[in-house]
Structure 1
């Protein structure tokens, strides 16, 4: 009964997740709609390939065409094209080797024992990439067919694979070709918002002087996760750039700026933000660490640094607005950013002048805050762009 209960709960959970996916896809653009669109395109490509190869031409192994069409409706048009060429090369290699040995030996069992190790080894060729395994698939198409091995039948297998590949690539390229610009912008926005939230939370804690080891540890954990969000944004930029290659839809997309210098510059700034935020939160955490490795800083330092953190959070918010403005460039937001960064520099200068007088008895603390101060200056310089 317990196993049945777990199975029922798992089925319900997965069913609810599927319903949620359908609902999100229906409500508006997003990852769920993209996934459903790709699934529908793969089904369409298979149907078209079968309609021609199986229904119209009545090819003896017509399933090869829809199979090739399905697997080549990939996540990007460039990947469909590149993998399609590699896959066809691998299938051709396997087909040729199997046909040659099959004609010579005239024994499918012995031929298979010799062919499969050979084509699997050939499939490791670097130029075939991840599609090298299809060399064995091409060989099996030849050796497991019901009729005798002939050059004409093998040529038909290759032709069916070529036709299916053409259909799959064409459907992926011309029927709502995938573009991941929205995912990239979303990833950058998530990292930016999280950086602002962390800095504001730490600033509130420093300003009031009310924080403990657990809360400081939570801030530091969030700062470390911010670094992972930046890595996710970097990966999303890579996907976006690939999705724009040989993509007719990408050339017509104007809703979001292409992942060029704008996104690359934003990623550099977010790297600085993540490093600086992790350093700040670690310092704050160590001040309340029960091991006693650092002394609790004075109220003067914490309040000054809280002011700096708030200015940093505001500058990051304005930077995001200037980089991803709907019109491409917002002059008023750019002016506001320059003013915010100027105020940030003035805050840092005041903090630098204050630091030697309050940290004279603790050289280690002076070094720590001096390092953070240098990081903060580099961050402020990065927030202003031409």
Structure 2
């Protein structure tokens, strides 16, 4: 019995090790893909790179003005504020700046008053300041900036000085950081997110193509169903990409407010209509449902699987759906030509023809496999329907 328990522990350890290695491999692949995308093409990764470098530059500039030029006693507040000011949109920077300056000013004044009242006794000043500032920071008008009130108060209290001149210096340093951060975000490659919607839709279509291609290829292999867990995991990742599209759409609407970028930068064509977001959302739902059913078949050995002929035809349908997604990717990049539309129409006809063959194969299934086969057939048909709706 001891041997079997030890064996079980070893097996459990091996399984965990495999899962950790698989997770690390997937994360490393995502990191490499993001780095490569930032270097070779315009898109969300490059936007993130630009905004990160801008935030770092704004912090350095704020430190240079407050710490090096003005020799401010608490110059840390300026670069700290500047970093938070470089937001995803200029409007967000302005809104964030107002919220942040207000809460930082409150934290500075309250902490300075507490230090003066307690005659610079740090622990007592913290007791009088931090509970109040944490509660005030949760006030919805301060948004996500509320936490800066308490952290600023900590900086002030641990600084140990509460004179009127130092309070003024701290407010001035905060203002310097806010102004520099706003100016950098608004006039140094100001973020214009019109392109981001198209880029993220292209990314979503490309990832959908990859998932459908991998699933179709696996269904043709003898032991391909063992990969169903990987297919379902990849299909689940499409949900995150879809959320990125929604986020980019919100940024595109917000990004045009108070933004000089429309005049300072070449923004490119307008993003695809919102209906495309909804359509690709429905496509992702169908892909996720298909892979979930295939995973269920693989995991549940007692569940009757459809025939090999049915799975082969399903593979053909998914391969053709992936081909349609690949054409849609080219169309979304703005390279739409008459030839591409003709190729897409031909792919639609081929997919519907194969769906007809898949339906005939379903009618020849054993009654025990009809439930699973019917679910796969329904999802495949709805997938092609959603893809066809763009025509």
Give the shorter-chain TM-score range.
0.7 to 0.9
Is the alpha carbon distance of 1:222 and 1:138 closer, same or farther for their aligned partners in structure 2, counting shifts above 3 Å?
closer
CA contact (8 A) 2:134 2:150 kept: yes
Aligned residue among 239, 245, 254 for 1:231: 239
Aligned residue among 340, 343, 351 for 1:336: 343
What SS does structure 2 have at the residue aligned with 1:133? Answer: helix
- Which whole-Å CA distance do the structure 2 matches of 1:123 and 1:248 have between them? 31
Does residue 195 of the first structure (1) align with residue 211 of the second (2)?
A: yes
Aligned residue among 129, 138, 144 for 1:115: 129
CA contact (8 A) 2:78 2:178 kept: yes
| Cα-to-partner distance string for 1:70-123 (whole Å, 9 max, x where unaligned) | 343345545544433332222122123234444545444433331222222322
- Which whole-Å CA distance do the structure 2 matches of 1:62 and 1:256 have between them? 43
Is the alpha carbon distance of 1:250 and 1:353 closer, same or farther for their aligned partners in structure 2, counting shifts above 3 Å?
farther
Does residue 166 of the first structure (1) align with residue 173 of the second (2)?
A: no
Note the residue ranges of structure 2 that are not aligned, 5 or more in a row.
1-30
Is the alpha carbon distance of 1:253 and 1:372 closer, same or farther for their aligned partners in structure 2, counting shifts above 3 Å?
farther
Aligned residue among 365, 369, 373 for 1:369: 373
The equivalent residue for 1:282 is: 295
What SS does structure 2 have at the residue aligned with 1:308? Answer: helix
CA contact (8 A) 2:34 2:45 kept: yes
Alpha-carbon distance, 1:30 to partner: 6.8
Alpha-carbon distance, 1:224 to partner: 0.9
- Which whole-Å CA distance do the structure 2 matches of 1:147 and 1:285 have between them? 68
| Cα-to-partner distance string for 1:114-143 (whole Å, 9 max, x where unaligned) | 122222232232333332222123324444
CA contact (8 A) 1:199 1:313 kept: no
Is the alpha carbon distance of 1:298 and 1:185 closer, same or farther for their aligned partners in structure 2, counting shifts above 3 Å?
closer
Which of 19-28 and 140-149 deviates more?
A: 19-28
What number of residue pairs does the alignment pair up?
351
Aligned residue among 142, 146, 150 for 1:128: 142
TM-score of the pair, normalised by structure 2: 0.74
| Cα-to-partner distance string for 1:301-320 (whole Å, 9 max, x where unaligned) | 34443443333333332333
Aligned residue among 42, 58, 64 for 1:45: 58
What SS does structure 1 have at the residue aligned with 2:303? Answer: coil
Q: Which has the larger radius of gyration?
A: 1
CA contact (8 A) 1:315 1:383 kept: yes
Is the alpha carbon distance of 1:230 and 1:179 closer, same or farther for their aligned partners in structure 2, counting shifts above 3 Å?
farther
Does residue 317 of the first structure (1) align with residue 329 of the second (2)?
A: no
CA contact (8 A) 1:191 1:270 kept: no
The equivalent residue for 2:15 is: none
Alpha-carbon distance, 1:157 to partner: 1.8
Is the alpha carbon distance of 1:239 and 1:174 closer, same or farther for their aligned partners in structure 2, counting shifts above 3 Å?
farther
What SS does structure 1 have at the residue aligned with 2:298? Answer: helix
Which of 177-186 and 191-200 deviates more?
A: 177-186
- Which whole-Å CA distance do the structure 2 matches of 1:179 and 1:364 have between them? 56
- Which whole-Å CA distance do the structure 1 matches of 2:37 and 2:316 have between them? 41
Alpha-carbon distance, 1:372 to partner: 2.0
Note the residue ranges of structure 1 that are not aligned, 5 or more in a row.
1-17, 206-210
| Cα-to-partner distance string for 1:267-309 (whole Å, 9 max, x where unaligned) | 32441442353156337637xx7x453156254x344434433
- Which whole-Å CA distance do the structure 2 matches of 1:174 and 1:148 have between them? 36
The equivalent residue for 1:11 is: none
CA contact (8 A) 1:105 1:111 kept: yes
The equivalent residue for 2:307 is: 297
Does residue 268 of the first structure (1) align with residue 278 of the second (2)?
A: no
Which of 304-313 and 166-175 deviates more?
A: 304-313
CA RMSD of aligned residues (A): 3.7
Is the alpha carbon distance of 1:44 and 1:350 closer, same or farther for their aligned partners in structure 2, counting shifts above 3 Å?
closer
Is the alpha carbon distance of 1:335 and 1:107 closer, same or farther for their aligned partners in structure 2, counting shifts above 3 Å?
same
- Which whole-Å CA distance do the structure 1 matches of 2:290 and 2:206 have between them? 15
The equivalent residue for 1:382 is: 386
- Which whole-Å CA distance do the structure 1 matches of 2:211 and 2:98 have between them? 43
CA contact (8 A) 2:232 2:292 kept: no
